[in-house]
Structure 1
Amino acid sequence: MQAGFVAIAHYHSALCTDLGQTDPRLARVTARLAAQGVTWRSLTAAELATAATFELLLQALHPLIHTSFRRNFLFTPLSQHEFSRRYQPLRAYLRPELCWLATAAGQAVGFLLALPDYSQGERAGETLVVKTLAVRPGRTYAGLGALLLARSQQQAQQLGYRRAIHALMHTANPSRCLSDRYAEPWRRYVLLSRQLANATTGSLSLKIPLPILTGGLRER
């Protein structure tokens, strides 16, 4: 690659234009998870009402997010304080009906974070952006991610949304297999790295995400 850059990771976003579709296997998954004591629901307005109530939710989610993503490429652990600092600004942009939480024995075991696509301006209520999907690892919770995604997309359809973007998935991430059931690749990205000379350390790694656009959001 030119200028000494090499590709170290590939990502893509996918577009779902049928929010009402349901994987036929979800009926069995739903029954199995319910029998294991797993419950799921959308967030409540009260949980997003103030920074304090949202902080309680973030405290419950922090262990789940850390456990779910710790094996991801370039994962960096975040303290509870840093995690809250990064996610608190999202509170003003969330709709509780679109975000789903699963719990078992009083612990968060699954979470889906989605929000309207505000880049569309006045049409922000037409497109849902699925930003984060986390499920506690293990066979016990197999299928929970698919269940939360289906619930969020179906709820979005009832609210008048027409499509969903599954945002920035690593090509090796299990979420891609889940997304492929509902959506088609829309945009691709490559993460580039280049070693730079440094007088002190001898080298410095520079990483730049480069989008490779393969499509656009079109009216249907």
Structure 2
Amino acid sequence: MDNLMVIEIYTKEQSDTFAQINVSQRNERMPTDHYYTGIAVKQQDVYLAKAVLYINKSISYKDRNVALVGAYEAQENEEAVHKLFQNIEKRAIEQGVDFLIGPMNGSTWENYRFHDHPQKPLFFMEMKHEPYYAMQWKSIGFKPLAHYYSAIATVAPRQNEKIDKLKSRLLRDGVIIRGLDKDNYVADLKKLYPFLHDSFKQNFLYSPISESSFLEKYLPLQSVLKPEFVQIAEHEGEIVGVLLGTDDLFNRAGKTLIIKTLARSPKRLYRGLGLVLVNEFYQKAVAKKYQQIIYALMIDEGDATSLSDQYDGHLLKTYTLYGKAI
């Protein structure tokens, strides 16, 4: 009897308790927005597998009733993983769900996707997970839903007359490009919040985030962000474009920057602003003698028009998001 696996269920009110359960000892912050229930599989007081079923009603995928599986941790134990997902699916079906997506910690604002080659070194702000996780999910019927990639480009001096002309036009029309105001960091975040919400609302599986959750997510970055590598474009007092870049704090061997977020207003007046922001970022990287730039976690839409191509970027890593009908 002592070898029986036990299923533990943690309600929304018990989410803090669930967050303390360690399986892989990664101890990352567990998002609680859209948390519906936490499920853990235990044997002889050892946790073998756990995950959260998130129900985010703002996410739509085709005509399916979607729920998300995130905060996933597991040991290499096939029986425990199967028991975990049997219970996840049972509770999802009880809520009218017919399609699961994951890994996703509640929304695309949080960590989601699995590495396709998890043995490769991580860069800063990249998700972490055990190398066998994707195989565990595929073994119980999850199939690829979307593909993503990161590219890397070598930093070298160059001139682009087309981008110079775009910049001149934008400045002539009154667009101002500035760095992050770290002395008024919270104020800048509060200005960025509605802009990013509007900019990303057409993205695949996007859902809104509350201002308080947005601030909670980005306040910890204040100590690591360098003002010159966060490009903010404003016009008539309103933010119309942003590039969020940071040092790769995990790379001790060379000076590497990461472009994490890039967005611009869709209005015709700001056409080309993304190229200009990347070029400004790139020129500052040259001046500061950085060696390479990573264009992080872009969705693969089957074309070759990414901004990284403008700077001779090449593929660094790929990632996959999975789905399963239930």
- Shorter chain as normaliser: what TM range? 0.7 to 0.9
Unpaired runs of 5+ residues, structure 1, are 196-202, 204-220
How far did 1:176 drift? 5.4
Task: Give CA-to-partner distance per residue, 1:62-93, whole Å, 9 cap, x none.
Answer: 11101111111111101211111111111111
**Conserved? CA contact 1:22–1:150, under 8 Å:** no
Instruction: Give 1:56 shift.
Output: 0.2
Deviation, 1:136, is 1.0
Q: 1:30 aligns with which of 167, 182, 187?
A: 167
Q: Identify the residue that residue 323 of structure 2 maps to in structure 1.
A: 193
Q: In the alignment, what sits opposite 1:15?
A: 152
* Counterpart in the other structure of 2:128: none
2:209 match: secondary structure: coil
Higher relative contact order (CA 8 A, sep 6+): 1
Aligned residues: 188
Aligned partners of 1:133, 1:36: CA distance in 2, in Å? 21
Residues 171 and 24 of structure 1, relative CA distance in 2, 3 Å threshold = farther
Which digits, 9 at most, give the CA deviation of each residue in 1:130-181, with x for residues without a partner?
1111111122111111111111121022112110000000113999522221
Asked if 1:71 corresponds to 2:208, the answer is: no
> Could you tell me how far apart the structure 1 residues matched to 2:241 and 2:310 are?
19
Give 5+ residue unaligned stretches, structure 2. Answer: 1-137
Q: For the Cα contact (< 8 Å) 2:151–2:314, is it kept in 1?
A: yes
1:115 and 2:249 aligned: no
Q: By how many angstroms is 1:25 displaced?
A: 1.1
Q: 1:172 to 1:140 in 2, by over 3 A?
A: farther
2:237 maps to 1:102 = no
Superposition deviation, residue 110 in structure 1:
0.7
- Give the partner amino acid of 2:299: H
Q: How much identity, in percent, do the aligned residues show?
A: 35
Of 178, 182, 205, 1:48 maps to 182
Q: What amino acid maps onto 1:184 in structure 2?
A: H
In 1, Cα distance between equivalents of 2:217 and 2:156? 29
Query: Would the aligned equivalents of 1:13 and 1:165 in 2 still touch at CA under 8 Å?
Result: yes
Structure with a larger share of its residues in helix: 1
1:155-214 residue CA offsets vs partner (Å, 9 max, x unmatched):
02211211000000011399952222111221111111234xxxxxxx5xxxxxxxxxxx
Are positions 1:91 and 2:248 aligned together?
A: no
Distance 1:11 1:23 in 2: 28
Q: What is the match of residue 3 of structure 1?
A: 140
In the alignment, what sits opposite 1:208? none
Q: Tell me which of 152, 165, 169 is aligned to 2:298.
A: 169
Question: What residue in structure 2 maps to residue 153 of structure 1?
Answer: 282
Relative distance call for 1:113 and 1:176 in structure 2 (3 A) is: farther
Compare CA radii of gyration and give the structure with the larger one: 2
Q: C-alpha separation between the residues in 2 aligned to 1:129 and 1:176?
A: 19
Q: Verify the 8 A CA contact 2:155 2:285 in the aligned structure 1.
A: no
Q: Is the 8 A contact 1:169 1:176 kept in 2?
A: no
> How much is the aligned-residue C-alpha RMSD, in angstroms?
2.1
| Structure 2 equivalent of residue 138 of structure 1 | 267
Which amino acid is the alignment partner of residue 321 of structure 2?
A: L
